[in-house]
Amino acid sequence: MTLTPEQQAEIDALRSQTQQTLRATVPGMEAHLYKAYEVLDHGFIRVIDYMGDDSAICQAARVSYGKGTKSVQNDEGLIRYLMRHWHSTPFEMCEIKLHVKLPVFVARQWIRHRTANVNEYSARYSILDREFYIPAPEHINAQSVVNNQGRGGVLEGEEAARVLEILKADSNRAYDHYEQMISQEGQDGLARELARMNLPANVYTQWYWKVDLHNLFHFLRLRADAHAQYEIRVYADAICKVVADWVPAAYGAFEDYRLGGATLSGKALDCVRRMLKGEEVTQENSGMSKGEWREFEGVLNDPA
Amino acid sequence: MTLTPEQQAEIDALRSQTQQTLRATVPGMEAHLYKAYEVLDHGFIRVIDYMGDDSAICQAARVSYGKGTKSVQNDEGLIRYLMRHWHSTPFEMCEIKLHVKLPVFVARQWIRHRTANVNEYSARYSILDREFYIPAPEHINAQSVVNNQGRGGVLEGEEAARVLEILKADSNRAYDHYEQMISQEGQDGLARELARMNLPANVYTQWYWKVDLHNLFHFLRLRADAHAQYEIRVYADAICKVVADWVPAAYGAFEDYRLGGATLSGKALDCVRRMLKGEEVTQENSGMSKGEWREFEGVLNDPA
Amino acid sequence: MTLTPEQQAEIDALRSQTQQTLRATVPGMEAHLYKAYEVLDHGFIRVIDYMGDDSAICQAARVSYGKGTKSVQNDEGLIRYLMRHWHSTPFEMCEIKLHVKLPVFVARQWIRHRTANVNEYSARYSILDREFYIPAPEHINAQSVVNNQGRGGVLEGEEAARVLEILKADSNRAYDHYEQMISQEGQDGLARELARMNLPANVYTQWYWKVDLHNLFHFLRLRADAHAQYEIRVYADAICKVVADWVPAAYGAFEDYRLGGATLSGKALDCVRRMLKGEEVTQENSGMSKGEWREFEGVLNDPA
Amino acid sequence: MTLTPEQQAEIDALRSQTQQTLRATVPGMEAHLYKAYEVLDHGFIRVIDYMGDDSAICQAARVSYGKGTKSVQNDEGLIRYLMRHWHSTPFEMCEIKLHVKLPVFVARQWIRHRTANVNEYSARYSILDREFYIPAPEHINAQSVVNNQGRGGVLEGEEAARVLEILKADSNRAYDHYEQMISQEGQDGLARELARMNLPANVYTQWYWKVDLHNLFHFLRLRADAHAQYEIRVYADAICKVVADWVPAAYGAFEDYRLGGATLSGKALDCVRRMLKGEEVTQENSGMSKGEWREFEGVLNDPA
């Protein structure tokens, strides 16, 4: 359970107040507003606000006065064209604001995406809650043996139990000590900005995160990818569901051209052309390194 | 007259369609939506969309679940505190989208503000209209004799008439030639991407411009300033009026701390301290250059 | 002739002064420094400074203490891996600063790339020179009939002559009037910030432009592309030559993965897989629109 | 001791290799290159590369062909003018690249400055060292009682000892467990990307950080400020020393106008004007809140 009754009451209050607006609205997105969608064991994403819709993308691309829409089909075709040809500015005309609760080690990956606006809960100013990410047993994996930057099979038996035990015990001890250090009972109490340094990276933080659709798609392409760390991928997946309801045409184009697409190098394209002519192409005569060839084969064989 | 009847009809259609939304709305801003506010002789600004309000600034600063507002007074105090202490991220949580029609030489100044999203009307793809900025007689000024980057007194009599005549005649001739070159009557017709190069910098263009409130304030501080070129200042002034209705508390703080404020150097502060102790401070004993001292005196004497 | 003797003397003076440095240097790049490479009829690019080399990319990727290089081959493999997997931050560790002279209509396209630092010659402060871009006869093209945003065949005969005559006459007349308006002989003289509005978009401006290698590659991918307008493409081509000497491994990877590569959508990849299995795939059974299919065929047939 | 002998040898090797260059060089900065300046107990900053000098700022402001320098005095005057009038782009023409080793909780503050390039040591890919920030006794402070976001007096006696004991013990235990979890002796070994979550925020990380001078000044203004947390301020202070040797004129202007200056609101300026006329101004008749007035008095009384 990630929300206190007071927090839930605040959310409910906001959801009960409908306003009139002349702005573009998306019914599917209104249904998401303010709700907390659970991610991991204590995290969530909540849509706080949004600006624009599929039509706004087209309107900006056409620099038109009104809705800029002749028909939905036209709009979808234009959006697919814009996505295919890497036009970024029309997608920047849509904006979304999320409230996200997430472990610090996920926040540290997330913040590398610099083209967004962020307000994070301040542990200099406020006291963090006793909430730590403890992975579910099926997400405690070994180090990958093929990829230095990834995880392999699920740990089992005693090893898994030991890991869980360590994570739980260390988190709780760290939090106990955090509370002891900042306590002002019978002592001065350590400054919060110092005490926080004792908390491990699985402690939860939260922030408001606002980003335009172009940069959000970039984030989702990297973080909803199979190579992304599981703990950030589940946030990306949750956001994907919301975006699909917000801008269905743009999301459809994103799925086809980005999530489901692949970039082939000049060498790889040359191999494809040779293969289509019936030539036998192997790594040895491809001009590619072994790593590139393995990835190339992956693209050709796997329905990504 | 800047809008065709068709454009006005599109705007009216949008203004007639009220939607229900759970998002933060600002009645004062709803009244502005889509309307074209005239600027210069053929230009305008139109609010196309907005996200957030004064409460959203506080909500983000507090990373709170609901409205994050205890009372309006509290919010205003917090907003003033944030502005005073150069906190930028809470103001980034508000966003505005404008449709702007403006002369190219104004657009070239405007675009230097890089932290915004822009979609400009494409003169590679489309044909520009015969609309040129011709200054009103009271805005045809001489080169400043004190400031290399500014204008002095209003030109009068024959000189003013000559300038106006040149601007009008050259604009029209350039547009006649533009039309002749792209015409496909009896000839192939020059590519639009080439023909546009013959048009002078007072031709009007238009764009969708989307920016967050922090960066908008930065733009307004520089462009609503007395030293900004008149032709961009009038756009900034028109935007200021809209922003005052959108986020009144933030705009009030902006007026006090930025538009009406001034930054004093360490040397200048030292002079103020000496003056307050009754010391006679002059440029010679101030440690400032003549230029700095003149600006310092301006700050002390003028109610900006 | 784009440089005055005084300018050439300043450049020669800088090229004659060698300094000692501990920083990474690239001999091939030192040979380019300060020289003006002509572009179009009066334009140029000049390398003013650079930071980093191929090794710096690897050093940052490895966050290492020294050169971070085990062998050149290793470095090249790492750079290709980083490029293939869309790692952007290591490439951001290299930076280049250029001095560019270019027509205003090219500058207006160029400046849309916002992630760069720019200082442009100020026509509010200074007087522009009488230099206008007049296309060579082989670059005066008709509007494309297949692509609304492009040019078709070269104009010939009288039509081409008319275009050239218009461009030359209007440019010169506009400049004559510019000089007349700002003249202070027997009159006050119009402010420069106003007079400049009479100059057409083929007048030359100049700026200092500083950008990191990642964002430069993005610029080059779009502007060295066959679909870019010729007048900006020649600048991109000139920059490509310099970059190839500066960071040969990174540039090689860029050529293979970006300039020579192509992104295929999920649908397109599916078609490739079907074709490789011997299936007859046509636009009708591809799931692609006609436009997409045409582009897809272009990728499969043309050695880009 | 923050560097291993191998690391020191790599640094020494780089410092022993002088190259010839035509680029702008700064002898004072060459003396800093690659050296590790210690910060906190295990951290450091190292200058890896730099671009530009004071002259480069003026050269860009003037868009000139050569050094753009008439005399050093002129340059300094121009730089002070640019700083005073908030011109940002000329300062963006200088760039610096640092290698920084710092505790994670400091890195989390630092990264909020988004307009920089960063490559951080990857704890998904690599194993972190057993290095934790343990504050010196004189930097273990109580929570401030006047400022929710700051620290008060130094903790003493048993309380200080308890804090130190907790920080040391928890850090070491967390690292022991980190090693145990990733160990592949007799078990599969937990993935590094998961194991890192057990490490507290005082563990050291490192990164390459590249930023232009304008954005660096913004960082230094906020982080070399008395209100910044001590643990990031010492990094800012160390960088200030380097920058003073790199661009002395720009740094001097920064000290006077930013570090030593203050921004007064319209209300505050009005009070100053009234005071200079001999009027008795108090908080009650100032129009300022108590908090504002207290800060205003601080500016008037304290030689910052």
Say whether pLDDT at A69 is over 90: no
Residues A220 and A116 in one domain: yes
Subunits in contact with chain A (3 or more CB pairs closer than 8 Å): B, C, D
- Give the Cα separation of D269 and A67 in Å (integer): 47
Residues B144 and B47 in one domain: no
- Closest chain B residue to D73 measured between Cα atoms? B289
Contact C25 D25 (CB under 8 A): no
**By the 8 A CB rule, do D71 and D80 touch?**
no
CA dihedral D103, D109, D111, D112 (to 10 degrees): 170
A-D CB pairs within 8 A amount to: 156
Say whether pLDDT at A238 is over 80: yes
CATH number of the structural domain spanning residue A51: 3.30.1360.170
Which of D158, D186, D201 delimits the end of a domain? D201
Packing angle, helices C266-276 and A266-276, rounded to 10: 40
- Mutation target for D interface from A147, A190, A208: give the one with most D CBs within 10 A: A190
Say whether pLDDT at C237 is over 70: yes
- Give the Cα separation of D135 and A22 in Å (integer): 56
**By the 8 A CB rule, do A41 and A133 touch?**
yes
**Chain B contact for D276 (CB, 8 A cutoff):** yes
Residues C230 and C169 in one domain: no
B-D CB pairs within 8 A amount to: 86
What sections of D27-70 are H helices per DSSP?
Answer: 27-30, 54-62
Residues C157 and C289 in one domain: no
Contact D256 B264 (CB under 8 A): no
Residues D250 and D273 in one domain: no
Nearest CB to C207: which of D30, D63, D119? D63
**Chain C contact for A266 (CB, 8 A cutoff):** yes
**Chain D contact for A202 (CB, 8 A cutoff):** yes
Output the known binding site of A for FAD: 89, 112-114, 120, 212-214, 218
What sections of A53-139 are H helices per DSSP?
Answer: 54-62, 72-84, 104-110
**Chain A contact for C164 (CB, 8 A cutoff):** no
- Give the Cα separation of B175 and B196 in Å (integer): 9
Looking at residue C50, what is its pLDDT?
98
**By the 8 A CB rule, do B91 and B217 touch?**
yes
Residues C157 and C33 in one domain: no
| Tokens coding B84 | 């005073």
3-state SS of D255-291 is: HHHHHCCEEECHHHHHHHHHHHCCCCCCCCCCCCCHH
- Give the Cα separation of B14 and B28 in Å (integer): 17
The one catalytic residue in B46, B173, B223, B274 is: B223
Residue C35's domain comprises 5-133+202-259
**Chain A contact for B32 (CB, 8 A cutoff):** no
Give Cα separations from A81 to A130, B133, C227 (angstroms): 48, 35, 14
Give Cα separations from D208 to A272, C26, D15, D49 (angstroms): 39, 21, 18, 11
Say whether pLDDT at C69 is over 60: no
Looking at residue D70, what is its pLDDT?
57
- Give the Cα separation of A256 and A238 in Å (integer): 18
- Give the Cα separation of C46 and C96 in Å (integer): 11
- Give residue A3's pLDDT band: very low, low, confident or very high (50, 70, 90): confident
Residue with tokens 């410092």: D15
Q: How crowded is residue C283: how many other Cβ atoms within 10 Å of its Cβ?
A: 16
Looking at residue B2, what is its pLDDT?
74
Give Cα separations from D198 to A135, A150, D131, D204 (angstroms): 12, 17, 14, 14
Residue B97: name the closest of A78, A23, A27, A88 by CA.
A23
DSSP letter (8 states) at residue A200: B
Q: Three-state SS for C101?
A: strand
Residues B76 and B158 in one domain: no
Q: How crowded is residue D130: how many other Cβ atoms within 10 Å of its Cβ?
A: 15
Residues B152 and B189 in one domain: yes
Contact C264 A266 (CB under 8 A): no
**By the 8 A CB rule, do D212 and C117 touch?**
yes
Contact C63 D117 (CB under 8 A): no
Contact B191 C150 (CB under 8 A): yes
- Mutation target for B interface from A92, A99, A210: give the one with most B CBs within 10 A: A210
**Chain D contact for B111 (CB, 8 A cutoff):** no
Low-confidence ranges of chain D (pLDDT < 50): 69, 304
**Higher-pLDDT residue of A145, C168:** C168
Residue D90: name the closest of C114, C120, B264, C109 by CA.
C120
Write the pLDDT tens digit of every residue in D158-196: 999 999 999 999 999 999 999 999 999 999 999 999 999
Residues A244 and A290 in one domain: no
Positions of C annotated as catalytic residues are: 223
Give Cα separations from B289 to B278, D58, D62, D82, D105 (angstroms): 22, 18, 21, 14, 43
Write the pLDDT tens digit of every residue in C7-20: 999 999 999 999 99
- Give the Cα separation of B55 and A10 in Å (integer): 14
Burial, B250: exposed, middle or buried (Cβ in 10 Å; 0-12, 13-18, 19+)? buried
Residues D144 and D180 in one domain: yes
- Determine the distance in angstroms separating the CA of A255 from the nearest CA of chain D, rounded to an integer: 27
**Chain A contact for D105 (CB, 8 A cutoff):** yes
Q: Which residues of C259-273 are buried (b: 16+ CB within 10 A; e: fewer)?
A: bbbbebbbbbbbbbb
Positions of A annotated as catalytic residues are: 223
Mean pLDDT score, C13-32: 95
How many domains does chain A divide into?
Answer: 3
Residues D20 and D163 in one domain: no
* φ, ψ of residue A130 in degrees (nearest 5): -80, 75
Write the pLDDT tens digit of every residue in A160-176: 999 999 999 999 999 99
**Chain A contact for D205 (CB, 8 A cutoff):** no
Say whether pLDDT at A177 is over 90: yes
How many CA atoms does the CB half-sphere of A30 hold within 13 Å? 18
- Give the Cα separation of C220 and C209 in Å (integer): 14
Residues B97 and B191 in one domain: no
DSSP letter (8 states) at residue C4: -
Q: Which residues contact D177 (CB under 8 A, 6 or more apart)?
A: A166, A170, D198
**By the 8 A CB rule, do B78 and B68 touch?**
no
Residues counted in chain B = 304
- Give the Cα separation of D207 and C61 in Å (integer): 10
Looking at residue B138, what is its pLDDT?
96
**By the 8 A CB rule, do C275 and C299 touch?**
no
DSSP letter (8 states) at residue D168: H
Write the pLDDT tens digit of every residue in D258-268: 999 999 999 99
Q: Any idea what the Cα angle at residue B279 is, between residues B277 and B280, rounded to 5°?
A: 150
| Tokens coding A238 | 């949750």
- Give the Cα separation of C277 and C279 in Å (integer): 6
Contact D21 C22 (CB under 8 A): no
Write the pLDDT tens digit of every residue in D128-141: 999 999 999 999 99
Looking at residue D148, what is its pLDDT?
77
DSSP letter (8 states) at residue D76: H
Low-confidence ranges of chain B (pLDDT < 70): 1, 66-73, 303-304
Contact D17 C22 (CB under 8 A): yes
**Tell me, what's the ipTM?**
0.94
**By the 8 A CB rule, do B97 and A67 touch?**
no
